[in-house]
Homo-oligomer: A and B are copies of this chain.
């Protein structure tokens, strides 16, 4: 187990890499721990949770809504939780988001630990303190920025992760390579998803490298006034696609990244040959790069996006592989670009 400490504005966060889940007890009194997980994960790992109070929520993005939070709050009251209680979110991005949000509002804030169990949650969702719930069809409309006290990476949870979810997670890994790390891009080109699924040391190193990228971006810009927006590469169009076509997050982001590459080529002098490299890498990691799509519907939903700002939308484009930039694009031009890019 390797421990690193990062100091955020609100608190310091302990990252525990290559840890065993029960090491959480070294950080919080056992009787103050309340686990939030989903029914799927609970089914696979019930014995790990035997010693703790557990709140189980239904799995899937459809339940990332206020009704589930209402239910969590009732159970926290029943457990007589207080500000010294530690909510431990164990699961994928939906669980870590819900646990983070619950911990930030219950009694104005309890202790929080997150143990991400999917690649996506490990390299992205669980890091940086952002949480959120959806409001009807609109994603992450309500939430807070609330850092966990502890982030625990127990790679043994990955043994039950479906292949589909490995693929999903690699969309964010390719994203990190595209916006920040050309060497990581090379490394990904030289490997396959099967390699990482079979080699525990390789996936551990890859997760740590991606956690470092995301953490460094967040530390430089915790409240998303600047550089943190780069992490939205592929996500603006991706979220709209995800919403309308109910694609898995990674699939939608993959298509969104290709669209953003097309726009980068169109207005940001991004090389066509680099775009082709990115498309090829996404396909290599089994991610889709195109779908038949109603671009008018996508545009309608884009207009509801959080990132809109008066007559412009801030869009993340690539300069080259490993180097991204924020470009405000006028809505009229953007509508045309989106149409052509998909």
Interface residues of A (CB under 8 A from B): 9, 66, 70, 73-74, 77, 80, 82-84, 104-109, 130, 132, 135, 138, 140-145, 304, 306, 308-309
Contacts and interface: CB of A to CB of B under 8 A. Distances in A.
Given A82-B308, A306-B83, A308-B82, A109 B142 contact: no
A contact face: mostly helix, strand, loop, or mixed: mixed
A196 to B, nearest CB: 32
A82 B143 contact: no
A141 B132 CA distance: 19
A309 B84 contact: yes
A241 B234 CA distance: 54
Contacts of A107: 141-143, 306
Contact of A138 (B77, B132, B140, B145): B77
A143 B110 CA distance: 11
B145 A108 contact: yes
Contacts of A144: 104-105, 108-109, 144
Contacts of A104: 144
B84 A143 contact: no
26 contacts: A66-B70, A73-B135, A73-B141, A73-B142, A74-B135, A77-B135, A77-B138, A77-B141, A82-B306, A82-B308, A82-B309, A84-B309, A105-B105, A105-B142, A105-B143, A105-B144, A106-B142, A107-B141, A107-B306, A108-B130, A108-B140, A108-B143, A108-B144, A108-B145, A109-B145, A144-B144
A252 B253 CA distance: 55
A105 B304 CA distance: 17
A109 B130 CA distance: 11
Contacts of A135: 73-74, 77
A142 B83 CA distance: 11
A80 B303 CA distance: 9
A109 B141 CA distance: 10
A173 B136 CA distance: 44
A256 to B, nearest CB: 20
Nearest to A32: B310
Contacts of A80: 304
